[in-house]
Amino acid sequence: MTQHPTDDLGLYALGLLDRGERDAIDRHLAECAVCQTELETHRSTLAALAPEPAMPAAADLRRRIVARHERTWWRGFPALGYAASAVLAVALVVSFNAFLHERALRDDYARALSAVATGARVVPLQPQADAPLRGALVLPRDGVAYLVLALPPPPAGKAYEAWVIRGGVATAVGMAPVLTGVITMELHEQLRVGDATAITLEDAAGAQAPTSAPLLVGEV
């Protein structure tokens, strides 16, 4: 491995790489101080994600997510289940730096991660027209749903808006914070089977109805 495995270090820290990928990164880390430092940043971030006593320790979250991921694959669940886990894993670890300064966002992120570890359903959001966005909808067994999104900065004067679509009618459920990297949004709208969630680019003030084509879409 000659290039820095920057995009995979977060997955490595979470333990979500397969053995071959992990072995390759192990060999790279043995000789690369730059990636060693970046890996420690990921690990420190994960350790900080569950600061409250009520939240499971970050190491335990990683262990449980990995166990669920491996158990699902071994049992031969449909490929969509595996893909959903993979999409969420990518979205969770693309970047931590931007939202860690915002306590509320960090807490939402930690709760979403904890929900995944305890059996929440994960719905991948599908990019439309090759949009450079990634995301997943986390549906806990009980409680509110979360959107975990990896978004590029919006153009000046614009912002990303989330929607729940039911019976062909879109309801605005929140504006994404204008931050670089991964953000987490708590959805207070109760989702039902057959609903869809979508992300559009709107004026920064928000819109009452979508004014542009969706960039990400996922169906409950």
Instruction: Tell me the CA distances in angstroms from 101 to 87, 183, 208, 215, one per residue in order.
Output: 24, 12, 30, 27
Give me the pLDDT at residue 169, please.
93
Percent of the chain scoring above 70 in pLDDT: 57
- With a cut of 90, say whether residue 211 has pLDDT above it: yes
Give me the pLDDT at residue 22, please.
83
Give the residue-averaged pLDDT of 142-151.
82
- With a cut of 70, say whether residue 6 has pLDDT above it: yes
Bridge partners (DSSP) of residue 200 are: 161
Q: How confident is the model at residue 172 (pLDDT cuts 50, 70, 90)?
A: very high
Give me the pLDDT at residue 118, please.
61
Sheet strands (E) in the chain: 121-124, 126-127, 134-139, 145-151, 158-166, 169-175, 181-187, 196-203, 216-219
- With a cut of 80, say whether residue 92 has pLDDT above it: no
Domain ranges for the chain, please list them: 49-219
Q: How confident is the model at residue 14 (pLDDT cuts 50, 70, 90)?
A: low
Q: pLDDT of 42-85, one tens digit each?
A: 666 555 444 444 444 444 545 555 554 444 433 333 333 444 44
Strands 145-151 and 121-124: unpaired
How far does the chain reach from its first CA to its final CA, in angstroms?
39
Q: Going by C-beta distance under 8 Å and a sequence separation of 6 or more, which residues neighbour residue 144?
A: 186, 187, 188
Our CA angle for 184, 141, 103, nearest 5°, is 25
Give me the pLDDT at residue 167, please.
92
Q: What one-character-per-residue DSSP string does 166-214 give? A: ETTEEEEEEEPPS-SEEEEEEE-SPP-TT-EEEEEEEETT--SS--S--
Which DSSP category does 100 fall into?
Answer: G
